[in-house]
Structure 1
C-alpha cells in the first residue's frame, strides 16, 4: 500500500486530531456519520475485540461484523473504524480505507500476509548496538518499510553501550551504507542522547516501532512517552536477546506530537509482495542494472553486466549483491504462491533456461565429439 498517509490538513478542533484525524478522514467517514455511527482509532486488538479511542474516550468493541475472508483486512492497530455510538457490547461496523500498512508474510504454509500496523507515516526499525549488526536483516525490514508507503527510519538503540564515538560512527556509517535514503539515528534511552532528534522526527503522524526482541523498543517507547507505559525486561546476558516483553500492538499519543505503535519483538520477517521495496533498498544495484547489456540480466555470469563490473571494481560489496538476490528470490516465491499468472511465467522461464542449458550441452558435446 503506497498511498500517502497524510493527504490533507488535520482538523485541530476535533477531539481525535491528536490521533491523526484530518479532513480527509472526515470526508471518508461522512456516509457512516449519516448512519449514526461514530469514528474512532483502534489502539489495541485482542482476540476478536479491540480498544478504540473515540471523541468520548476509549471503548471496548467487538469486531464480529468486520471479519473478512481476506486476512489482510482483519482489524489492526492503527485502523480508523466506524462503530456503534452506544450499546453493550459495541460493535465495529466498518473500517475506513487504509492509506498505508506494514505487511509481512506469516509463517503459515498458506502464504498469507499479516498487517502489523495500519495508517502509519514512519516505520522505525530498531537495531541494538549491544549486539552484532545484522545488515541483511536491516535490509529486509527496510524493504517492507518502503513497501508499506511510510518513511523508514533506522534507530540504533543502546548507544550508551558503545561509548567510543569513533566506534559508534563506524557502526552508523555501516548502516547508512546499507540504508540509502533512510535517516539513521543513534540514541540512548539511558542518557537521553539522540532522543530529541528522534522525537522531532516522529512528531508529525503515526510511527510504528519494529525490530527483534531485545532491540530496546519498549524502553525507547517509554523514553519517548516520558513514562513507563510499556513493561520492560532486561535482555539475557548470554546472547543479548530479549524476552518478548510486549505481547500486543499498542497505539499511544506522544507528548511531543504524533502517535506511536509499539509491537512485539519479531523473530521472523518474511517479505510480502515487496518487490518495489527491495528495489528501493538496493537502489544503487537497480541503477547499475539499467546499464546492463541485457534487459533480463540476472547479474550472474552474463557478458556486459554492469552490476558484476561494479563488484569487480570494488564499488559494490559482494554482500549487498548476495542480499539483493536472496530477497528478490524470496519475494518472487511468495508472490508466485498467490499469483497464478506469475507462477506460469516463472515455469515458462524455467523451461526456457532448461532448454537453453540442454542446447548448450549438446553443442559442447558436438564440438568435443
Structure 2
C-alpha cells in the first residue's frame, strides 16, 4: 500500500509544504492515521504501515481533546528504527471533522473521524429504526463538513421498506438515501460513486445497525468481526472497539467506527438549520423574526403543524435539540473562561517564581 492509495494528492502536498515551513532539524515524512487504538496509532507512511505515538513536545502543546490526532488525519512523522516505529510531530489542517461530545458530564470533544468526504449514516430497517435519532446524526454530519448519505441496511428483513424510506425522506430533505442488503447483495452499485479512488467515507450509527457488515460487503472480504443483534428489541452489541481505515477494491477508503449508544452533539456550525431545513424555510415566513415557534401569533411553523404539512414530533425534536445546543454552548463558554483564568493564574505564578529565583541568584 502507498499513501496515494490512502488519499494523498496535490492538495495535501500543498498543505504539507505550508506546514513544514515551521519545522527544522529532522527528516519529516507525511503519513495518515489508519487506526486509532487510544494511546497508540497505526499510520501509513511512504515506507509502509507502522505504529506511531505522539512526540512529547506535541503532547504538551495540546490543550483540548479535539486537538489530538484522530483516524483520517494526515500527520508529520519522523521514522525510527528503520521504519519500524514513527513519532508524530504535528497534524495537517483538516478539511472535515466529525465530532461529538464525549459521553457523560465531561465537557470534551471526541473526534469520530477527520478528512472524510462522505459520511454514511447507517440505520437498520428493523425494530431499531428511528427517524428522530437520524435527525441528530444529520446535525453532526452537516456540522462536520462531510457530505451526509443515509444507508438503510438489512432491507431484506423489512416488509414495509418503501414506507420507511418515505418516512426517512421526509426527515432528511435533500439527503441521498439508499436501502441496501448485504445478504442479498442489493444496492452496491448505488454506492460506487462514493467509494471511487482517493475518496474517504466513514460509517457511523448505533450498535447493531450493520456498519461492520457493510465494510466486509464493500471490501469483498471479512475485515471486521460481526455479531447478531439482540432478539426482541433489535439492539446491537459493540463489535467494533476502535476506529480503523481500509482501502476498498474500487479504490475508495472506508473508516469503520464503534457503534454509539447515544449521540451527544458538540458545537453547532449551522448543522441544526441544515438538518431541519424545512423548518428553517417555514420560519422565514413567521410574523416575528425572533419567533420561537411555541405559541406566537403568525407563526408559519405552527400553522404547518396544524395543517399536517409538518410532523409535530419533528418540531418537538427541533426545539429539544435547539435547547440542548444552546445549553451546551453556554457551558462551553463558562468552561473556556474558567480554563483561561486558570492558565493566566498559573502563568502569573510561574512569573513570580521565576522572578524570585532570579533574586536569589543575585544574592
Q: Same fold (TM over 0.5)?
A: yes
Query: Whole-Å Cα distance in 2 between the matches of residues 50 and 75 of structure 1?
Result: 9
Matched ranges for 1:19-38 at <5 A? 19-30=6-17, 31-32=19-20, 35-38=26-29
SS at match of 1:85: strand
Helix, strand or coil: the match of 1:152? strand
Structure 2: state its 5+ residue gaps: 338-363
Q: Which stretch of structure 1 is more off in the superposition, 146-155 or 269-278? A: 269-278
- The question of 1:199 aligning with 2:192 is answered yes
| Equivalent residue number for residue 120 of structure 2 | 124
Alignment of 1:261-276 (within 5 A): 261-274=255-268, 276=270
Asked if 2 retains the 8 angstrom alpha-carbon contact of 1:44 and 1:50, the reply is yes
Partner residue in 2 for 1:60: 51
Mapping for residues 1-369 of structure 1, pairs under 5 Å: 15-30=2-17, 31-32=19-20, 35-65=26-56, 66-67=58-59, 68-87=62-81, 89-162=85-158, 164=159, 167-203=160-196, 205-274=199-268, 276-340=270-334
1:339 alignment partner, SS class = helix
TM-score by length of 1: 0.85
For 1:132 and 1:47, locate their aligned partners in 2 and report how far apart those are by CA, in whole Å. Answer: 29
Assess, with a 3 A threshold, how the Cα gap between structure 1 residues 270 and 341 changes in structure 2: closer, same or farther: closer
Aligned partner of 2:341 in structure 1 is none
Which whole-Å CA distance do the structure 2 matches of 1:326 and 1:148 have between them? Answer: 21
Distance between the aligned counterparts of 1:310 and 1:316, measured in 2? 5
Q: 4+ runs of 1 displaced by more than 6 Å? A: none
Give the gaps of 5 or more residues in structure 1.
1-13, 344-369
1:275–1:328 CA contact under 8 A, matched in 2: no
Query: What's the CA shift string for 1:127-149, capped at 9, x where partnerless?
Result: 01122421110000011001000
1:233 deviates by: 1.3
| Residues in 1 aligned to 2:285 and 2:235: alpha-carbon distance in whole angstroms | 43
Structure 1 residues 292 and 239 mapped into 2: Cα distance closer, same or farther (>3 Å)?
same
Contact 1:292 1:306 in 2 (8 A): yes
Post-superposition offset of 1:335 = 1.1
Instruction: Give the corresponding residue for 2:352.
Output: none
Contact 1:84 1:91 in 2 (8 A): yes
State the 1:340 CA deviation: 4.4
**2:80 partner SS:** coil
Q: 1:95 to 1:275 in 2, by over 3 A?
A: closer
1:199–1:224 contact (8 Å) kept in structure 2 = no
Matched-pair contact (CA < 8 Å) for 2:53–2:88: yes
Separation of aligned partners in 2, 1:300 and 1:100 = 35
